[in-house]
Amino acid sequence: MNIESENAAFPLDHLAIGKDPDADALVMRSGTLSYKMLNHRVGLLAAWLLGQGLVKGDRVGTWLAKTELACIMPLASARVGLIHVPVNPLLKPAQVAHIMSDSGARLLISNSGRLKSLEDSDVDCGLFEDKAIASALELLGEPVAPSPSTTDTDDLAAILYTSGSTGRPKGVMLSHANLTLGALSVAEYLKLSADDRTICVLPLSFDYGQNQLFSAWAAGGCAVPLDYLTPRDVMKACAREKITTLAAVPPLWVQLVEQDWPEDAVASMRRLTNSGGALTPSLVKQLRAIFGAGTDIYAMYGLTEAFRSTYLDPALIDDNPTSMGTAIPFAEILVVDEARAVAGPDQAGELVHCGPLVAQGYWNDPERTAERFKSAPEASGYRGTAVYSGDTVKRGADGLLYFVSRDDAMIKSSGNRISPTEIEKIAVESGMVAEAVALGVPDERLGQAIRLFVRPVDADLPSDAMTEQLEKYLKQNLPNFMHPRDIVPLSEFPKNPNGKLDRNALASMDIE
């Protein structure tokens, strides 16, 4: 795709129209919607929204599991000029109240149990039960027609709130163009087609999870949302629904590779995609052992402020398992030094994302918007506004990008700037631990000492024995200044609502 391809943007609700009206678009427990029915249901929900007295630009929140209503609301709200605010169903009432207050949402849709958990003073907006809305839709006669093609695709369509893992949650403002070009981009580089069936296990409030719906529909394929209790549920659904595309974050992959996958769960699989954290070489090998050479493995990197930035060609992953790859379609990725000049090969610098996937900033937060969204570097072909990721990367001589660290996660010990990622990678490569997180903790002598949390592979091995073996391995494979002062075994790592490892929770643990 060339730089003018951003003109391919279209109104978000047009995804419901599809390529073949009779093809399967959405598979729910209650049944399957064709594209014709999907478009009709989107139109009915849009009509219901108008009936609530909402006007263009109003925000509407959903606090739901992966129900039909949750899946079609992004398109229905966009069809009538509203802004969708999806809320992760795992969030607690206080967090939901913050998001509703910060966004100024006019209404919140959820199930009866979640709504009852809210105090009257928690939210200042209309509360609606999802089942009541579903019943109301059956009584509506005329659906709202698809948005005109003249719709300004720079209009806001959604506000996605970050998980808050790095501080107070921020509402990222996304336009129709951001979302539709993101869907087209992913559909293109994943080579999705109309006969693909994508299982959606990630939260729909997570940009990675939401895009699974959108990219499947952009390709004319079928989306299969799944709320699961155990990794085994995912495996069973892959077999039952003949899934071709499975996306996950590293903590879920770690659990999935521990399952005994039957042939009927892998036979139809064409591609696996990962974001929200790096795949390790050992995890790539485990996935390859389960799914075979016929299944493509896509390593991807992204940030909510620009949706997705890079992907690694699956043909390269076995030889370059730690690479972030190259820019996705519609993205221009630069690695720049402190003067915003392009860094040379193998020179570490900040990843800067330019182009039409860059969000419009943080809702009602100009100060933090100015910190992250700035003028693009002079070398950019797009110019305009770019998002400065805060992530340190380098571009190898082979043209591939490699993650170094996140600036705010760097450990500063005895004058050394240490990447926790490097320590974590070596720990996992030992084969003794399935997951690892390295953090800096205050130390009078060093400034910061290194504390390494690990989840052992062998749960029956005594902690002292495992720790002793791991310490020996790390001393053999890491320089002295990178050796952990403490190794803390855990049976399970805390996760944030998007399924990522929660470093803040680990940092706040009281370790004796």
What pLDDT sits at residue 164?
A: 42
Strand order in the sheet with 433-443: 433-443, 447-456, 486-489
pLDDT digits (tens, 9 = 90+) for 381-438: 998 999 999 999 999 999 999 988 776 677 878 666 687 887 998 899 899 999 999 9
Q: Region 59-72: what's the mean pLDDT?
A: 97
- Are the CB atoms for 451 and 420 separated by under 8 Å? no
Residue with tokens 């490097």: 422
Q: Does residue 472 belong to any structural domain of this protein?
A: yes
pLDDT averaged over every residue in the chain: 92
Cα 267 from chain centre: 26
Task: Please indicate, yes or no, if residue 98 is contained in any of the structural domains.
Answer: no
How many whole angstroms separate alpha carbon 270 and alpha carbon 33? Answer: 23
Report helix, strand or coil for 416. strand
Q: Put residue 191 in one of left, alpha, beta given phi > 0 → left and psi -120 to 50 → alpha.
A: left
Give bridge partners of residue 271 from the DSSP assignment: 245, 296
- For residue 383, the tally of other CB atoms under 10 A from its CB is 12
Pairing of strands 332-336, 349-354: antiparallel
Q: Is 435 domain-assigned?
A: yes
CB crowding 346-358: b at 16 or more within 10 Å, else e: eeebbbbbbbbbb
Q: How far apart are CA 461 and CA 448, in angstroms?
A: 30
- Residue 133 covered by a domain: no
User: Does residue 138 lie within any of the structural domains?
Assistant: no
Mean pLDDT computed over 88-93: 86
Tell me the per-residue pLDDT of 341-371, one tens digit each, with 9 for 90 and over.
999 999 999 999 999 999 999 999 999 999 9
Q: Say which residue, 497 or 265, is predicted with more confidence.
A: 265
Residue of 296 and 206 predicted with greater confidence = 296
Residue 373 in domain: no
Residues with Cβ within 8 Å of residue 463, at least 6 apart in sequence: 456, 489
Question: CA-to-CA distance for 121 and 108, rounded, in angstroms?
Answer: 14
Residue that has been written with the tokens 């007295």 in this structure: 53
Distance set, CA 313 to CA 1, 213, 399 (Å): 16, 22, 12
Is 27 a member of any domain?
A: no
How large a percentage of the chain has pLDDT more than 90?
Answer: 74
pLDDT at 408: 66
CB 83 within 8 A of CB 157: yes
| 481 inside domain | yes
Question: What is the pLDDT averaged over residues 80-98?
Answer: 91
Predicted confidence (pLDDT) per residue in 183-236, tens digit: 999 999 999 999 999 999 999 998 999 999 999 999 999 999 999 999 999 999
Beta-carbon contacts of residue 450 (< 8 Å; ≥ 6 apart): 411, 413, 418, 423, 438, 439, 440, 441, 482, 483, 484, 485, 486
CATH code (residue 440)? 3.30.300.30
Q: How far is CA 89 from CA 28, 59, 65, 204, 442, in A?
A: 18, 18, 6, 9, 35
Going by their DSSP bridges, the two strands 401-406 and 385-395 should be labelled as antiparallel
Residue-number span of the structural domain to which 462 is assigned: 410-507
The pLDDT score that the predictor gives to residue 407 is: 67
Q: Are 433 and 377 in contact (CB under 8 A)?
A: no
48 near 79, Cβ under 8 Å? no
Sign of CA dihedral 240, 245, 251, 256: positive
pLDDT at 303: 87
Residue 166 has pLDDT above 50, yes or no: no
Burial of 253-262, coded b for 16+ CB within 10 Å and e otherwise, reads bbbbbeeebe
Cβ partners under 8 Å of residue 487, min gap 6: 452, 454, 467, 470, 471
User: Residue 149 is encoded by which pair of tokens?
Assistant: 């093609």
Average pLDDT of the residues in 297-314: 94
Q: Is pLDDT of 167 > 80? A: no
C-alpha distance from residue 312 to each of 6, 222, 309, 318, 324 (Å): 22, 24, 11, 11, 6
Res. 122: pLDDT tops 80: no
Would you place residue 3 in the very low, low, confident or very high pLDDT band (cuts 50, 70, 90)? very low
What is the model's pTM? 0.85
C-alpha to C-alpha distance for 350 and 65, rounded to whole angstroms: 36
Instruction: Give the Cα separation of 102 and 124 in Å (integer).
Output: 11
Q: Per the structure, how many domains does the chain have? A: 1
CA distance 26 to 214: 11
More confident residue, 449 or 197: 197
User: Is residue 454 within 8 Å of 488, Cβ to Cβ?
Assistant: yes
Tens-place pLDDT, residues 16-62: 999 999 999 999 988 999 999 999 999 999 999 999 999 999 999 99
Annotate 72-125 with three-state secondary structure: HHHHHHHHCCCEEEEECCCCCHHHHHHHHHHHCCCEEEECHHHHHHCCCCCCCC
Structure tokens, 212: 């699974």
Bridge-partner residues for 129, per DSSP?
Answer: 110
